[in-house]
Amino acid sequence: MFVLGLSSFLSAQEISSLMPLPQKIQTGAGKFLVNNNFKVALRGREDMRVKHAAERFQAALSRTTGIPLPPASDRVVPANFIINWISNGEKIQKLGEDESYRLEITATEVHLDAPTPLGVLHGLQTFLQLVEISPEGFAAPAVVIEDSPRFPWRGLLIDVSRHFMPVEVIKRELDGMEAVKFNVLHWHLSDDQGFRVESRKFPRLQQLSSDGQFYTQDQIKEIIEYARDRGIRVAPEFDMPGHTTSWFVAYPELASAPGPYEISRHFGVHDAAMDPTREHTYKFLDEFIGEMARLFPDQYFHIGGDEVNGKQWASNPKIQAFMRAHGLKNARDLQAHFNKRLQAIVKKHGKIMQGWDEILHADLPKEVVVQSWRGQKALADAVQQGYRGMLSFGYYLDLMQPASQHYLIDPFGAAANLTPEEKQRVLGGEACMWAELINTVNIDERIWPRAAAVAERLWSAQEVRDVDDMYGRLAKLSQRLEWAGLEHVRSYDLMLERLRGGTDVQPLHVLADVLEPVKGYARPHTKHYETSTPLNRLVDAVRPESDAARMFSGRVQRFLSKSMKPDDLSEIQKSLTLWRDNDQQLGPALQSNPLLQEAAPLSQTLSTVAIAGLKALEYLNAGVRVPAEWRQQQLDLLKQAQAPQAELLNMIVPSVQKLVEATTPE
C-alpha cells in the first residue's frame, strides 16, 4: 500500500475517475467486485437522509452496472458495504457542518465512516465514481480515502427569473450537484423579468409578476426536502433594491418612480429600484421576509443588492430631499442605508444577510456575507475588512468560458496576500448560471460538465490544478452525470436533430462539434435578446466548450513541440480531412433551413481552414520551405476565420494558425 502525495496523484489509474479529487488516497491491493451479493448495512442512529441515500445509491449502482440489486432480500447474505455515522447532524443543514468521510475499500468489504450523514452522502458518490468495468467485472479498486472539503460553501446559482425552470429541471440539477459534492443551491428567485415564488401575504407577486411561471410554496418545500436529502442547502435570493421591476407590476408603491410597471422583457441593468426612504417599503419587506424566512429554513438569506444605477433615486425629489436630510452623499450611501434597515429585518427573522459585493459598506455589521462577482480583489477587500465572503467572479457559466479557466481561479486569489484568519473568512464560492440565454432544454448543457471544475476547485486541495488531468476526469464524470439523469449530452443531440429537421445529422454534428458560442457578453452585444426570443439556433445548441477542438489543439501542440503520441499525426490528418470534406455534404442543407442559413459561412470556413491545415502539415512533414505568398494568404484567411459568425467561433482556427506559422517561408 502506498500513500499518494499530491505529486503522484495523477498517475494512479485507479482514481482517474474521481471528481472532485479527495484530500487523501491510499491505494491498496485488489478490488471489490460488485455482484448479486452486494448488500448495504446501515450502522448509525436511524436517519431518513441516510436511508434515502442508501436506497438511491443501490438503485444507481444497479442501473449503472446492470446488476439487479433489490432493496430488500430474503436471501441471507452478510452485508459487505457497511455505513457508519456518529450523529444525525443538524435538523437544518448548517454552513460548516462536518462533511468529512472515510471510505475503505478492500477486496471483500467496504467501510464508509462519517461523523454525520453529510459525509455518508459524499462517500457514496465517491464510491459510485470508483466502480468501473474491469477484467473481473464491475469493481471498485481497493483504496482508503480520507476526505473533507476545502471550503464549507460550495454553491451553484440558478437564475429562474429570466427564464423559468420547472421543478423537474431543478431536481435534475440537484442530482448533478450531489454527484460533484456541491452543497448550496443559490436560488435566484426574483428579478426584473419575473417573480417566481408564491407569496400568501402578497399574492399579487405571483399573480401579476410571474406570467404564471412560479413555484407554489408546496413546490418550494418539495425542492428543499429533495435538496436536503442530497446534502444541499437551499439559499434563496430576492434581489433588491434594484432588479425589482417585476415586484412593481404587483406593488408599484414600492418603487422610486410612479408606475404602472410591466414585467421586463429585456435584459441588462434596469432603472427600477425600491424606494428606501418610505417606511412602507420596510413594513412590506418585514412581512414579506418574515413569510419567506419561514418558508426557507436555511440560515442565510440573500438580498442581492447588485447593479443599482441610482437613476430613479436621482430623479425623485422626495428621495433627494431625504438624502440631504440624512447626510447621504450619493446612491451608494443611500443603498447602504437601505441595506442597514434590511439587515435588521433579516436578522429579526432569524437569518444572516448575504449580498453581492456592492453591499460592502462600513455601516453593515460583520456577520453579513459578501458574494464577490466583480473580481477577486473585492473578495479580498471584504475579508480584510472582517466580513465573510465567497467568490463567484470567474465562475459565471453563462460567459461560455472553458472549464480550465474556471478551474484555475482560486478563492484565495493568485495575488491576494491574506492572513490565515482572513482566509478563514473565505467561505468558498458559487458557480453561477444566469438565465438570459438558456431554456429548459439547453440548461444542462450550459451547466454540465463545466460546473464540476468549480466544484473541484472548492472541494479539493488548492494544489490540485493539473488541467489535462482535470479534463480527463471531467470526461468520465460527464458520462456519469448522464447516468444520474442529466441531459447535457442528449439535449445537444436533440437540438441538432431539431435544427436538421430529422434527416442525416452527422455533418451538422461535425460542424457543431468544433464551434463554440462567442464569449463573455458578446451575444447580447451582437443581437437584441428578449425573454421571448426563441433559443433554437445553432449557437443555442453548441457546447460552451469544444472537446474536439481542445483535443485537436493538444495534438497540434505535441506535433509542433516534437512530443507526439503514437496516433497524433494520423488523428490530425483524419480530423482535417473530415472537416475539409464536410461542407460538401452539409452546405446545401444549410441553405434551405432558416435557422441554419447563418451557419453556411461557418461550414465553408471550416473547409477552407482545414485545407490550409492539411497543406501546412504537408510542408512541415516534407521539411520544405513554403511560398511566402501562400503563407501570408493563409494567415490572412485564418485571421478572417477567427471572426465570429452567427455568434459562433470556429475553435480549430488557432491550432491551424500555429501549423501555418510553424512553416518556414521561402
- Residues annotated as catalytic (active site), given as ranges: 307
Residue with cell 491574506: 418
Q: Output the nine-digit C-alpha cell for 602.
A: 461557418
Using CB atoms within 10 Å of the CB of residue 468, give its burial: 0 to 12 exposed, 13 to 18 middle, 19+ buried: exposed
Q: Which stretch binds its own copies (CB under 8 A): 56-64, 102-110, 174-182, 269-277?
A: 56-64
Give the one residue of 2, 3, 136, 462 binding its own copies; rule: CB under 8 A. 136
Give the one residue of 277, 312, 460, 531 binding its own copies; rule: CB under 8 A. 531
Q: If binding is defined by CB under 8 A, does position 535 make contact with its own copies?
A: yes
Q: If binding is defined by CB under 8 A, does position 71 make contact with its own copies?
A: yes
Strands 233-238 and 184-191: parallel
Q: If binding is defined by CB under 8 A, does position 46 make contact with its own copies?
A: no
Site string for its own copies, 359-398 (x = CB under 8 A): ----------------------------------------
Contact 115, 145 (CB under 8 A): no
Give the one residue of 8, 41, 51, 70 binding its own copies; rule: CB under 8 A. 70
Q: Restricting to residues 13-42, name those near its own copies by CB under 8 A.
A: 17, 35-36
Q: b/e string for 182-203 if b means 16 or more Cβ within 10 A?
A: bbbbbbbbbbbbbbbbbbeebe
Tell me how far, at minimum, the Cβ of 81 lies from its own copies, in Å: 17
Q: ∠557-561-567 over CA atoms, to 5°? A: 65
Count of CB atoms situated within 10 Å of the CB of 627: 12
Give the one residue of 595, 620, 635, 662 binding its own copies; rule: CB under 8 A. 595
Q: If binding is defined by CB under 8 A, does position 577 make contact with its own copies?
A: no
Q: Output the nine-digit C-alpha cell for 60.
A: 444507481
Give the one residue of 165, 208, 453, 638 binding its own copies; rule: CB under 8 A. 208
Q: Restricting to residues 447-486, name those near its own copies by CB under 8 A.
A: 475-476, 479, 482-483
Give the one residue of 213, 219, 309, 384 binding its own copies; rule: CB under 8 A. 213
Give the one residue of 6, 26, 39, 64 binding its own copies; rule: CB under 8 A. 64
Q: Which stretch binds its own copies (CB under 8 A): 204-212, 357-365, 546-554, 614-622?
A: 204-212
Q: Output the nine-digit C-alpha cell for 52.
A: 434515502
Q: If binding is defined by CB under 8 A, does position 441 make contact with its own copies?
A: yes
Tell me how far, at minimum, the Cβ of 476 lies from its own copies, in Å: 5
Identify whether 449 is preceded by a cis peptide bond (ω within 30 of 0). Answer: yes
Q: If binding is defined by CB under 8 A, does position 85 make contact with its own copies?
A: no
Q: If binding is defined by CB under 8 A, does position 566 make contact with its own copies?
A: no
Tell me how far, at minimum, the Cβ of 34 lies from its own copies, in Å: 10
Give the one residue of 13, 561, 563, 592 binding its own copies; rule: CB under 8 A. 592
Tell me how far, at minimum, the Cβ of 551 lies from its own copies, in Å: 11
Contact 435, 213 (CB under 8 A): no
The dihedral built from the CA positions of residue 46, 47, 52 and 56, taken in this order, carries a sign that is negative
Q: If binding is defined by CB under 8 A, does position 540 make contact with its own copies?
A: yes
Q: If binding is defined by CB under 8 A, does position 142 make contact with its own copies?
A: no
Contact 259, 248 (CB under 8 A): yes
Task: Specify which residues 353 forms β-bridges with.
Answer: 301
- Residues belonging to the chain: 666
Q: DSSP strand E in 228-284: where?
A: 233-238
| Residue (104 or 571) nearer to its own copies, CB | 571
| Residue (282 or 529) nearer to its own copies, CB | 529
Q: If binding is defined by CB under 8 A, does position 260 make contact with its own copies?
A: no
Q: If binding is defined by CB under 8 A, does position 489 make contact with its own copies?
A: yes
Largest CA distance in the chain: 81
Q: ∠543-547-550 over CA atoms, to 5°? A: 125
Give the one residue of 326, 490, 574, 625 binding its own copies; rule: CB under 8 A. 490
Q: b/e string for 261-279 if b means 16 or more Cβ within 10 A?
A: bebbeebeebbbbbbbbbe
Q: Which residues contact 445 (CB under 8 A, 6 or more apart)?
A: 487, 488, 491, 492, 543, 544
Q: If binding is defined by CB under 8 A, does position 112 make contact with its own copies?
A: no
Q: If binding is defined by CB under 8 A, does position 498 make contact with its own copies?
A: yes
Q: If binding is defined by CB under 8 A, does position 219 make contact with its own copies?
A: no
Size of the site for its own copies (CB under 8 A): 61
Q: Which stretch binds its own copies (CB under 8 A): 281-289, 305-313, 405-413, 586-594?
A: 586-594
| Residue (490 or 639) nearer to its own copies, CB | 490
Q: If binding is defined by CB under 8 A, does position 585 make contact with its own copies?
A: no
Q: Restricting to residues 300-339, name those near its own copies by CB under 8 A.
A: none
Residue with cell 498517475: 11
Using CB atoms within 10 Å of the CB of residue 24, give its burial: 0 to 12 exposed, 13 to 18 middle, 19+ buried: middle
Give the C-alpha separation, 356 to 344, whole Å. 17
Q: b/e string for 416-434 if b means 16 or more Cβ within 10 A?
A: bebeeebeebbbbbbbbbb
* Contacts with its own copies, residue ranges (CB under 8 A): 17, 35-36, 59, 62-68, 70-74, 132-138, 163-164, 166, 208, 211-213, 262-263, 439-441, 475-476, 479, 482-483, 489-490, 493-495, 497-499, 501-502, 531-536, 540, 592-595
